[in-house]
Copies of this chain bind each other. A is one copy, B any other.
Amino acid sequence: MNHPRRLQILQAIVEDYVHFREPVGSKALVERHRLGVSSATVRNDMAALEEEGLITAPHTSSGRIPTDKGYRTFVDQIAAVKPLSGPERRAIQSLLDDAADIDDVMERTVRLLAQLTHQVAVVQYPHASGVTVRHVEVVDLGAGRVLVVLIPTNGRVAQRVAVLRAPLEETQLLELRARVLAAAVGRSLAAVPEALVAMIADVAPPLRPAAATVAETVGALAAGGAEHRMVMAGTANLARSTGDFHLSIGPVLEALEEQVVMLRLLSEMEQDARGVAVRIGAENAAGPLSETAVVATGYGPQSKVGVVGPMRMDYPSTMAAVRAVARYLSRILGG
Q: List 19 A-B contacts (CB under 8 A).
A: A100-B160, A101-B160, A134-B139, A135-B147, A135-B149, A137-B137, A137-B139, A137-B149, A149-B151, A149-B157, A151-B159, A155-B159, A157-B158, A234-B257, A235-B253, A236-B253, A239-B249, A240-B250, A243-B250
**CB-based contact A248/B257 at 8 Å:** no
CB-contact partner of A239 in B135, B234, B240, B253, under 8 A: B253
Q: Is residue A301 contacting chain B, with contact meaning CB distance below 8 A? A: no
CB-contact partner of A157 in B157, B239, B240, under 8 A: B157
- A220 contacts across to B, CB distance below 8 A: 100
A158-B149 Cα distance, complex, nearest whole Å? 11
Q: Is residue A254 contacting chain B, with contact meaning CB distance below 8 A? A: yes
- A83 contacts across to B, CB distance below 8 A: none
Interface residues on chain A, number (Cβ under 8 Å): 32
Q: Is residue A144 contacting chain B, with contact meaning CB distance below 8 A? A: no
Distance (whole angstroms) from the CB of A108 to the closest CB of chain B = 13
A-B contact sample (20 more), CB < 8 A, given A100-B224, A236-B257: A100-B160, A101-B158, A101-B159, A101-B160, A134-B147, A135-B137, A137-B137, A137-B149, A139-B151, A147-B151, A149-B149, A149-B157, A157-B158, A157-B159, A234-B257, A235-B253, A236-B251, A236-B254, A239-B248, A239-B250
A155-B159 Cα distance, complex, nearest whole Å? 8
CB-contact partner of A235 in B135, B137, B235, under 8 A: B235
Q: Is residue A106 contacting chain B, with contact meaning CB distance below 8 A? A: no
Could you say how many copies of this chain the assembly holds? 2
Chain A binding surface, main DSSP class: mixed
Distance (whole angstroms) from the CB of A216 to the closest CB of chain B = 14
A89-B251 Cα distance, complex, nearest whole Å? 28
Interface string of A113-143 (1 = CB under 8 A from B): 0000000000000000000001101010100
- A100 contacts across to B, CB distance below 8 A: 160, 220, 224
- A101 contacts across to B, CB distance below 8 A: 158-160, 224
CB-contact partner of A257 in B135, B158, B160, B233, under 8 A: B233
Closest to A224 in B: B100
Interface string of A211-251 (1 = CB under 8 A from B): 00000000010001000000001111011100100001111
Which residues A31-66 have CB closer than 8 A to chain B? none
Closest to A249 in B: B239
Distance (whole angstroms) from the CB of A105 to the closest CB of chain B = 13
- A137 contacts across to B, CB distance below 8 A: 135, 137, 139, 149
